[in-house]
Amino acid sequence: MSDKDLGEKTEECLEILFRLEKNNKRVKTTELAEKLGFPPSSMTVLLQRLANMGLVNYEPYKGVKLTDKGRKVAIKIIRRHRLSERFLTDILGLDWCEVHEHACKLEHAITDKIEEKLDEKLGGPTVCPHGNPIPTPSGKIIFEEDVPLSELQPTDEAIITRIIDENPTLLRRLIAIGILPGVKITVKEKSPLGGALVLKIGDYEVAVGCDVASKICVKTSTPPHRYRHRVRRRAKKHSKI
């Protein structure tokens, strides 16, 4: 079966799976169902079907993982999604903040031919309007192992890689105060209950709310997978107190 015949829901499922899978771990079925807005029962059916097509590796109760073939399809859809976003902003003149939703619809209607023409018309863009990389036609994606700033803990040092937000007011505010890609930050404090952060940037301090922090991606010297353990260990320590 070629990927041209995949249904909209199936494509959406692969795309979201790819995003959730960032740390190369199995994704829980319930988590996936929640993101897709599916009832868990039909989720199982869909995953079983995808597994039969050789797109995912699915084991009930253990979770789901993309196969190499599945990953290729997912990357293709992401490419179409981000190209659609560029099309919507650059040619139709839509605003950043609204393109994501429209692109979610548009991406499934794009054929190989349209994809090629779109890429040509847009002049081969490398990033989407939000600054995320657009995969190349051969499926290569410049993949930076970054984590949201909101996952860091006090004393952590990191370099800002990108800001994933479509709100131009916030983006301008962040740039003005000196929070932009390439800048080195140190986490000075983190408040409990959700986690607003105090960052040290050069010689000054900036407080950012947890919602803002979750939109700023950073690269740390600590690999992301080690992060989870650290977070958990800290949580344990707190619960003992």
Partner 1 sequence: MSSSGHFRRPKEGSNVVKILLAGNPNTGKSVFFNRITGIGVIVSNYPGTTVELMEGRTKFNGREITVIDLPGTYSLGAGSMDERVARAAILEEKPAVVINIVDAANLERNLYLTLQLLELQTPVVVALNMVDEARKRGIEIDHEKLSKLLGVPVIPTIATRGEGIRKVVDTALKVFDRKLIIHPMKVQYGRDIEAIIQKLEKIVEERLKTFPRNMRSRAVSILLLEGDPEIVEEIRKIDEEVARIARDFARKIEELHGEPASLRIAKERYGVAHSIAKAVTTRYEKKVLLRDKLDILTTNIYTGFPIMIGVWISLFALLLYGGSFLEELIVFGWESYIAPLIEKELSYIIPNTFIYHVVSRGLILGLEAGLAVVVPYVTLFYIALAILEDTGYLTRMAYLMDNFMHKVGLHGRAIIPLIAGYGCNVPAIMGTRVLETRRERVLAAFLITLIPCSARTVVILGLIGQYIGLLAVLSIYALNLGIVAISGLFLNRIIKGEIVGLVMELPPYRIPHPVPVLKKTWIRFREFVYIAFPLLILGSLILSSLEYSGALQPIASLMSPIVVGVLGLPALTGITLFFGVLRKEMTLEMLIVIFGTTDFLAIMNITQMIVFTIVVTLYFPCIATFAVLGKELGWKTATLIAISTIILAIAIGGITNLILTHF
- The site for partner 1 (CB under 8 A) is made up of 90, 123-127, 129, 131, 133, 167-183, 188-196, 198, 201-212
- Closest to partner 1 by CB, 1 vs 92, is 92
Q: Which has the closest alpha carbon to 32: 52, 16, 12?
A: 16
Residue 43 in tokens:
């989720």
- Closest to partner 1 by CB, 7 vs 202, is 202
* Minimum gap (Å) between residue 97 Cβ and partner 1: 9
* Cβ atoms of 121 and 141 closer than 8 Å: no
Place of tokens 């994809």: 115
* Minimum gap (Å) between residue 52 Cβ and partner 1: 39
- Residue 221's CB is within 10 A of a number of other CB atoms, namely 8
Q: At what angle do helices 8-20 and 40-52 cross, to 10 degrees?
A: 90
Q: At what angle do helices 8-20 and 68-86 cross, to 10 degrees?
A: 100
* Minimum gap (Å) between residue 218 Cβ and partner 1: 15
- Closest to partner 1 by CB, 32 vs 212, is 212
* Minimum gap (Å) between residue 49 Cβ and partner 1: 37
- Closest to partner 1 by CB, 1 vs 193, is 193
- Closest to partner 1 by CB, 101 vs 211, is 211
* Minimum gap (Å) between residue 207 Cβ and partner 1: 4
* Minimum gap (Å) between residue 147 Cβ and partner 1: 18
Which residues, other chains included, contact 76 with Cβ-Cβ below 8 Å and sequence gap of 6+? Answer: 3, 135, 139
Q: Which has the closest alpha carbon to 150: 239, 59, 220?
A: 220
- Closest to partner 1 by CB, 137 vs 209, is 209
* Cβ atoms of 197 and 222 closer than 8 Å: no
Could you give the CA distance from residue 163 to residue 221 in angstroms, rounded to a whole number? 19
